Amino acid sequence: MPQSSLHDPRASLCDDLGRTVRYVRISITDRCNLRCKYCQSNAQTCYIPHDNILQYEEILRIVKILHGLGVAKVRLTGGEPFARKGCPDLISLLRTQFPNLDLRITSNGTLLQEHVPMLKKFHVNAVNLSLDTFDAQVFTEITGANLLGNVLNSLDALLAANIQVKLNAVALRGITQPALDDFIYAATSLGIDVRFIEFMPIGHDTAWSKDLFCPVADILALAWERVPLQPVSVDNPLQGPARMFEIKGKRGRLGFISPISNHFCHTCNRLRLTSDGYLRLCLYDDQQYPLRTLMREEKLDDLALAEKIKQVIRTKPLGIHLLQARKQQQPVAQRTMSGIGG
Ligand code: SAM
């Protein structure tokens, strides 16, 4: 297709509320070697059949189109991205084909250590490691696997390779508060960002409950009691929704992401692509658009696919409305986070 039309600045992805999409999270597999209670607590999860999973060439094609429409940042996620065979090949192809792309990965860190030289070689911009505790027993209780050591080894290897790392912890009542000193120590001793995200009632298989939910404001209040914090102002359109704080006189920062207690829908700049090739406009919305079918069966060319994507993005909803409309204790979206690409 003519590249020029995809690079037309007027072609950027805007919705009807004036938000511009600049960021896509791509789930490259729904498979995961962990069973985190907040994500998919049921070990009997049915995986998407192999034939329905997007092939790497299809992912590259969608990235090419989205990049042409102004998407500057791509995050590979899952499931666990390193659980998919050939994940390094995808990273290498993405970097080679899109040298300026801000390319990031979210991983549970259990299978990552051996891939650190590859991540370095292909200039992956940052890796987010999901880690909810530094206590091996609690880690096993949350994730169903005794693999904390693997995550810590991956963390060390990433830092030794000078790759930017952020730690993401789901705020869980009774689990995060007792671990706060460990998180603050990790942030200050390693000089990294540690971010706490509110537990969202997403997926038919989540163990979400009011009792486990902990507003990040509670963690922030506790952190203020431990260390002097200084809010960081951010002026970067690609920046995520975390409210960041420096720890005065120390390295490292703490971040707080509040999708439930203090939503940031008005500034949402992201899309999600599921591993079976559906575009999702909002984490809370089960409406999804079948790019796989448009590519495989309807055989749309790049220009037609770009038009279709621009059209659907206009309808990007305000997730807060969906959250408010949900019935008590029901999940706001049925697909698990590992299926959507959290
Ligand atoms: N397997 C990778 C990992 O663990 O980072 C990537 C996929 S995981 C679904 C992506 C992120 O979603 C993780 O940071 C995880 O903690 C977060 N997550 C999953 N379920 C969540 C929920 N119900 N509420 C908030 N965050 C959740």
Q: Is residue 241 within 8 Å of 267, Cβ to Cβ?
A: yes
The secondary structure element, H or E, covering residue 5 is: helix 3-6
pLDDT one-digit tens code per residue, 79-119: 999 999 999 999 999 999 999 999 999 999 999 999 999 99
Q: DSSP label at 250?
A: S
Six-digit token string for 159: 């830092």
- Please give the biggest Cα pair distance in the chain: 58
Question: Cα(144) to centroid of ligand 1, in Å?
Answer: 14
Q: Is residue 276 within 8 Å of 52, Cβ to Cβ?
A: yes
- Return the ligand 1 atom nearest residue 128 CA: 5
Six-digit token string for 220: 């922030």
* Cβ neighbour number for residue 235 with a 10 Å cutoff: 5
Question: Cα(206) to centroid of ligand 1, in Å?
Answer: 11
- Return the ligand 1 atom nearest residue 80 CA: 1
Q: Report pLDDT for 342.
A: 80
Question: Cα(130) to centroid of ligand 1, in Å?
Answer: 7
Q: Report pLDDT for 237.
A: 66
Q: Report pLDDT for 40.
A: 83
Q: DSSP label at 20?
A: B
Question: Cα(177) to centroid of ligand 1, in Å?
Answer: 19
Only one residue has tokens 């995200």, namely 197
Q: How far apart are the first and last CA of the chain?
A: 32
Give the span between the Cα atoms of 164 and 145, in whole angstroms: 26
Q: Report pLDDT for 326.
A: 86
Mutate which of 32, 39, 105, 283 for ligand 1 pocket (most atoms within 8 A of beta carbon):
39
The candidate with the shortest Cα–Cα distance to 253, out of 222, 227, 235, is 227
List domains and CATH numbers for the chain: 3-340 (3.20.20.70)
Closest Cα to atom 4 of ligand 1 = 108
Give the span between the Cα atoms of 217 and 111, in whole angstroms: 32
Question: Cα(51) to centroid of ligand 1, in Å?
Answer: 25
Give the span between the Cα atoms of 16 and 310, in whole angstroms: 11
Q: Report pLDDT for 5.
A: 47
User: Beta strand pairing status for 278-280 and 288-290?
Assistant: antiparallel
Pocket of ligand 1 (CB under 6 A): 32, 38-39, 77-78, 80, 106-108, 130, 168, 170, 197, 199-200, 202, 206, 337-338, 342
Question: Cα(337) to centroid of ligand 1, in Å?
Answer: 6
Give the span between the Cα atoms of 322 and 305, in whole angstroms: 27
Give the span between the Cα atoms of 190 and 252, in whole angstroms: 7
Closest Cα to atom 25 of ligand 1 = 199
The secondary structure element, H or E, covering residue 288 is: strand 288-290
* Cβ neighbour number for residue 246 with a 10 Å cutoff: 17
Low-confidence ranges of the chain (pLDDT < 70): 1-11, 43-45, 237-238
Closest Cα to atom 15 of ligand 1 = 130
Which amino acid belongs to residue 272?
R
pLDDT one-digit tens code per residue, 218-255: 999 999 999 999 999 877 766 789 999 999 999 999 99
The secondary structure element, H or E, covering residue 31 is: none
Give the span between the Cα atoms of 302 and 2, in whole angstroms: 9
Closest Cα to atom 12 of ligand 1 = 342
Q: Is residue 34 within 8 Å of 330, Cβ to Cβ?
A: no
HSE-CB at 106 with a 13 A cutoff on CA atoms is 22
Question: Cα(36) to centroid of ligand 1, in Å?
Answer: 8
Helix (H, G, I), strand (E, B) or coil at 117: helix
> How far is Cα of residue 173 from the mean position of the Cα atoms in its chain?
22
Closest Cα to atom 2 of ligand 1 = 107
- Return the ligand 1 atom nearest residue 336 CA: 20
- Report phi then psi at 69, rounded to 5: -95, 10
Question: Cα(33) to centroid of ligand 1, in Å?
Answer: 13
